[in-house]
Structure 1
Amino acid sequence: MSLTISKDNPFQVLIAESDDDPAQLQLRYEKHRTIRNEQQSNKILAESFSGWTLDEVLMRLEGSAKEEGFFDPRNCLVIWARPPSHIRDLISVVQSELKDVAPSLWLMPLENLHTTVLEVAHSLTESQIEDLVQTLKSSTEITQAQIAEHPISHQSRLLKPMVSFDSSAMALSFAPAAGESSTVQSNGHDDHYTYHHLRRDIFDRVRQTGIPVASRYIVPSAHVTIARFITQEGFQFNGTDSAGKVDHSRVKLLVDRIGDINKKLESMYWPQLDGTQPEKGEWVVGQDKLVIRRGRLWYGGGDDV
């Protein structure tokens, strides 16, 4: 089935602005995360920084402030790509390094890791999501299988893992490949079809089912959330004179550790000077089906549709 790209597809805008050039698309993804990390670092390391932005829902679900009987009221419908085992292993190592200097971090369970290819709907009731699911299932224009299996015939690669962060969470982010060597046998597709093309196409395929897509995330980003802040514990002074105040030295220790991790990732998992691509730093999205997921899935939960 051929795919006609709608004129108002938000992902097509960046592709057009980049002249449909994988190298330019990769640069846009890299610039987005690099500039954002610099901005967040300046904000977090400033003397005026008053503490982490805590996830108030997750606080009530996990940790010392857990409330028995509380459940996340936000229901969503999304399309995920699950990272392969070697990327999960890499994330486990990164999480361990972060936990070493920030023991109070909440870590995303490895089995829940995902990148959001498309957020179809968010923060709705169960019945509202159920209506969308029924629309999806009853579509005669396109099937769930055609959506889930699209990347198998349209492979895209993600490279250059890097820890991205802000005052509320951390993620392992990637950039679309742009002609670098590969450790995986090609299925006939090349890097001209990027991860951003995949997002564009999945957007249109979902809309072909009759579902109005209400995505918040159209920025050039391919990231897997790996940690969140649910407490200020470990980042505040305990003394009577300064209790509750931010310990900026502990904050700087974490930011410095992120910098050290990113240097290691670049030296060990990014394309090398001889042109080779380390196997453990490459993620071929088309090796697996996408996951159509519904429910309370903000932290990796929910159910497959």
Structure 2
Amino acid sequence: MATPSISADNPFQVLIAESNDDPAQLQSRYETHRTNRNAQQNAKILAEDFPGWSIDEILRRLDGPAKEEGYLDPRNCLVIWARPSPHIRGLIAFVQSELRDVAPSLWLMPSGNLHTTVLEVAHSLTEDQIEEIVQTLKSSKNVTEADISEYPLKHQTRLLKPMVSFDSSALALSFAPAAGEGASDGHDDQYTYHHLRRDIFDLVRQTGLPVASRYIVPSAHVTIARFINQDGFFVKNAEGGDELDPSQVKLLVEKIGQINDTLESRYWPKADGSYPKEGEWVVGQDKGLVIRRGRLWYGGGQDV
């Protein structure tokens, strides 16, 4: 199996160096990123001038009540995904059900489409452009597709601490890299999820491909829901027009807070160092990573 040679401009190595290659510091950076972002979005969404949800216009045309038959997503991509294990999919199903109780019009990511993006190689291109990139990948003599997809089988990483992250357009279940929790199981967690992202970046580079990734922030998230309309959040005003109902928006934000309290109490590591296995995701544990191409913004596309 090929091994990556860490390039000087690898964007993932920067955070590893800044964190002194310390799993605890890396975990803290991931947690700080998502906590701060949730706080910012919470303030924005509950502000008096919040205009309503940011509708995904392409998804609205692909699915839901306003679906347009024959419409195709113009964006073609090449990505490397990790699929959540069955118990994490079950956890997501619970969260989606809780969200649907207060926001029935939410578009929910189907279970079979759930994924986290380890590395985005190319995005928003034509089919022909993606085909050219795929052929470059397939013809590489330095690194094979199997070198990439099977990499986590020998370089195991764990994600813990599930939490709902959100903004005005979508919701996700996010995780933080493990940092020694459950070390008695043979995990020292010195090699983290961020190290995996770093190494996959360089493996792809070694195939001769440039990497046009938008996601280098410290985040491990699975998108679970998107807004495709404002149904349930707007009411008729005195003039007969539509206006945002702040109480319904607040209800959803409060529900997210309740879900996160439940997740933390049930699935996060305990004060004594133990943790529920139901909250642990061993990345690529059974099948490795998925190299995916095509119109895959919402979990579709085809395996390479």
Equivalent residue for 1:35? 36
Contact 1:22 / 1:191 at 8 angstroms: preserved in 2?
A: yes
SS of 1:294's equivalent in the other structure is strand
Equivalent residue for 2:273? 275
Equivalent residue for 1:191? 189
Relative distance call for 1:242 and 1:155 in structure 2 (3 A) is: farther
Using the alignment, how far apart are the partners of 2:217 and 2:17 within structure 1? 14
Contact 1:236 / 1:243 at 8 angstroms: preserved in 2?
A: no
TM-score scaled by length of structure 1: 0.97
1:1-305 aligned at under 5 Å gives the runs 1-181=2-182, 185-186=185-186, 190-241=188-239, 243-288=241-286, 289-305=288-304
Larger CA deviation: 267-276 vs 217-226: 267-276
Using the alignment, how far apart are the partners of 2:296 and 2:175 within structure 1? 22
Give 1:273 deviation, angstroms. 2.0
Q: Which runs of 5+ in 1 are unaligned?
A: none
Contact 1:118 / 1:203 at 8 angstroms: preserved in 2?
A: yes
Q: Which runs of 5+ in 2 are unaligned?
A: none
Using the alignment, how far apart are the partners of 1:2 and 1:71 within structure 2? 38
Give 1:239 deviation, angstroms. 4.5
Relative distance call for 1:247 and 1:209 in structure 2 (3 A) is: same
Contact 2:82 / 2:284 at 8 angstroms: preserved in 1?
A: no
1:113-171, CA deviations, whole angstroms, 9 ceiling, x for partnerless residues? 00000000000000000000000000000100000000010000000000000000000
Give 1:182 deviation, angstroms. 6.0
Report percent identity of matched pairs. 73
Aligned letter for 1:142? V
TM-score scaled by length of structure 2: 0.97
Using the alignment, how far apart are the partners of 2:158 and 2:294 within structure 1? 28
Using the alignment, how far apart are the partners of 1:222 and 1:117 within structure 2? 8
SS of 1:30's equivalent in the other structure is helix
Give 1:69 deviation, angstroms. 1.0
Using the alignment, how far apart are the partners of 1:92 and 1:177 within structure 2? 23
Using the alignment, how far apart are the partners of 2:5 and 2:55 within structure 1? 42
Give 1:190 deviation, angstroms. 2.7
Give 1:238 deviation, angstroms. 2.8
Contact 1:182 / 1:276 at 8 angstroms: preserved in 2?
A: no
Give 1:243 deviation, angstroms. 3.1
Contact 1:118 / 1:202 at 8 angstroms: preserved in 2?
A: yes
SS of 1:155's equivalent in the other structure is coil
Using the alignment, how far apart are the partners of 2:174 and 2:284 within structure 1? 18
Using the alignment, how far apart are the partners of 1:114 and 1:239 within structure 2? 40
Using the alignment, how far apart are the partners of 2:243 and 2:194 within structure 1? 42
SS of 2:296's equivalent in the other structure is coil
Relative distance call for 1:45 and 1:137 in structure 2 (3 A) is: same
Contact 2:237 / 2:243 at 8 angstroms: preserved in 1?
A: no
Contact 1:54 / 1:230 at 8 angstroms: preserved in 2?
A: yes
Contact 1:159 / 1:176 at 8 angstroms: preserved in 2?
A: yes
Aligned letter for 2:302? D
Give 1:58 deviation, angstroms. 0.2
Give 1:179 deviation, angstroms. 0.5
Using the alignment, how far apart are the partners of 2:130 and 2:157 within structure 1? 29
Give 1:55 deviation, angstroms. 0.2
SS of 1:287's equivalent in the other structure is coil
Give 1:277 deviation, angstroms. 1.1
Larger CA deviation: 269-278 vs 174-183: 174-183
Aligned letter for 2:132? D
Contact 1:154 / 1:286 at 8 angstroms: preserved in 2?
A: no
